[in-house]
């Protein structure tokens, strides 16, 4: 990057060893350059191979695969709607729960926490992101699941049972535990990203706000949040993107039911959990291809989410005029 500014790198005095080192430089450029090129090839190969693997199913079912509901190996007919519904609901609700909590944590770590607490609390929040999803899923099904069934769903059903979302028999596995597990996964990502953003708000702006007599919260509301709006949006979208593709923990807690239930208490399936739960069934050609087709949908959604996050960031930095 910057080294290219260092004048071509050719030593002025090339009396001894000059040629040898120039060959070494060429070689190094070649080797590192081909590694970098291979990275680009890898991304291209990934997209191509996944689409290619799904091709039998794409050719057989076409685009209607996305809105049909059948998954039946006996008649070899497959489709995606229940998984798309499950993905949309769990990702959306988990993001709605996690985003405010994560932003609050970001604010606490950047603005409010006593200096001595910032390091340790920040590290603990980031360690939450390091917990392997299979461990979180194990905890989800054996500890969180029973708790959700006996307490949270019982209480929700009693208080909000008139809403179809909270109706039905409390269960150990279902959409609600999946939503909670996903929230736990989103929070540390969005929190540490937004903390970085909050820390970058210029000091003069904050002190100006205090100078006008604003309270801390008013300063945050009028200066910090508007200044970081774009970045925080991107942080939330990236967190949601993580939830979108999470396979293992969701598979463990969601109950694996192929169908659309309005109730959060009922089991369901997401795109990623469907793929993960069928890993042993991927034997017949068309069924395996249909699983890969689900992965294609997931891939497209992930790329869209990431592109959207990038777009938000680039747009907001232009506006700030940096």
Among 40, 59, 63, 75, binds another protein (CB under 8 A): 40
- We find the least distance from the C-beta atom of residue 158 to another protein, in angstroms, to be 24
3-state secondary structure 201-237: CCHHHHHHHHHCCCCHHHHHHHHHHHHCHHHHHHHHH
Among 13, 59, 63, 75, binds another protein (CB under 8 A): 13
Considering only residues 245-264, where is the footprint of another protein by CB under 8 A?
245-248, 251-252
For 77, the 3-state DSSP assignment is strand
Rounded to whole angstroms, how far apart are CA atoms 196 and 222?
A: 18
Among 292, 312, 313, 316, binds another protein (CB under 8 A): 292
Rule CB under 8 A: say whether 283 interacts with another protein.
Answer: no
Site string for another protein, 134-153 (x = CB under 8 A): xxxxxx-xxx----------
Please return the burial class of 52, using the count of CB atoms within 10 Å of its CB with bins 0-12, 13-18 and 19+.
middle
Considering only residues 162-181, where is the footprint of another protein by CB under 8 A?
none
- We find the least distance from the C-beta atom of residue 187 to another protein, in angstroms, to be 6
Q: Contact at 8 Å (CB) between 187 and 279? A: no
Among 96, 124, 163, 199, binds another protein (CB under 8 A): 124
Which helix (H) or strand (E) covers residue 9, if one does? none
Rule CB under 8 A: say whether 222 interacts with another protein.
Answer: no
- We find the least distance from the C-beta atom of residue 70 to another protein, in angstroms, to be 21
Total number of residues binding another protein (CB under 8 A)? 101
- We find the least distance from the C-beta atom of residue 13 to another protein, in angstroms, to be 5
DSSP code for 16: S
Furthest CA-CA distance within the chain? 87
Q: Contact at 8 Å (CB) between 171 and 265? A: yes
Choices 57-65, 161-169, 236-244, 311-319; region in contact with another protein by CB under 8 A? 236-244
Among 57, 105, 179, 240, binds another protein (CB under 8 A): 105
Residue nearer to another protein on the CB measure, 133 or 263: 133
Rule CB under 8 A: say whether 194 interacts with another protein.
Answer: no
- We find the least distance from the C-beta atom of residue 99 to another protein, in angstroms, to be 11
Residue nearer to another protein on the CB measure, 158 or 203: 203
Rule CB under 8 A: say whether 72 interacts with another protein.
Answer: no
Please name the residue that has the structure tokens 């199913």.
57
Please name the residue that has the structure tokens 């290219």.
4
Among 53, 73, 157, 168, binds another protein (CB under 8 A): 53
For 201, the 3-state DSSP assignment is coil
Please return the burial class of 242, using the count of CB atoms within 10 Å of its CB with bins 0-12, 13-18 and 19+.
buried
Instruction: Supply 170's token pair.
Output: 């409390």
- We find the least distance from the C-beta atom of residue 29 to another protein, in angstroms, to be 5
Rounded to whole angstroms, how far apart are CA atoms 228 and 306?
A: 18
Selection from 190, 300, 195 nearest residue 240 by Cα: 190
Rounded to whole angstroms, how far apart are CA atoms 272 and 86?
A: 10
Considering only residues 261-280, where is the footprint of another protein by CB under 8 A?
272, 275-276, 279-280
């Amino acid at each position: 990057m910057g080294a290219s500014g260092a004048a071509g790198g050719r030593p002025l005095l090339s009396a001894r060893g000059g040629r040898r080192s120039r060959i070494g430089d060429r070689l190094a450029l070649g080797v590192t350059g081909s590694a970098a090129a291979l990275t680009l090839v890898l991304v291209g190969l990934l997209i191509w191979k996944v689409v290619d693997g799904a091709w039998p199913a794409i050719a057989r079912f076409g685009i209607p695969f996305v809105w049909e509901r059948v998954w039946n190996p006996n008649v070899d007919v497959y489709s995606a709607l229940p998984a798309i519904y499950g993905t949309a609901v769990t990702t959306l609700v988990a993001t709605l729960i996690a985003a405010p909590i994560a932003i609050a944590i970001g604010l606490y770590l950047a603005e409010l926490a006593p200096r001595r607490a910032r390091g340790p609390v920040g590290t603990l929040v980031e360690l939450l992101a390091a917990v392997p999803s299979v461990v979180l899923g194990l905890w989800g099904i054996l500890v969180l699941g029973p708790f959700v069934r006996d307490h949270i769903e019982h209480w929700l059903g009693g208080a909000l049972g008139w809403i179809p979302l909270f109706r039905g028999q409390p269960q150990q596995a279902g959409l609600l535990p999946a939503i909670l597990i996903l929230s736990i996964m989103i929070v540390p990502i969005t929190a540490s990203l937004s903390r970085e953003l909050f820390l970058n708000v210029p000091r003069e702006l904050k002190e100006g706000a205090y100078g006008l007599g604003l309270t801390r919260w008013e300063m945050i509301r009028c200066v910090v949040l508007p200044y970081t709006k774009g970045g925080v949006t991107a942080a939330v979208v990236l967190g949601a993107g993580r939830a979108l593709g999470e396979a293992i923990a969701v598979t463990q807690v969601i109950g694996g039911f192929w169908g659309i239930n309005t109730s959060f208490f009922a089991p369901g399936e997401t795109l990623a959990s469907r793929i993960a739960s069928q890993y042993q069934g991927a034997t017949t050609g068309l069924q395996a291809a249909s699983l890969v087709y689900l992965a294609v949908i997931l891939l497209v959604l992930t790329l869209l989410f990431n592109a959207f996050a990038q777009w938000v960031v680039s747009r907001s930095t232009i506006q700030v005029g940096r």
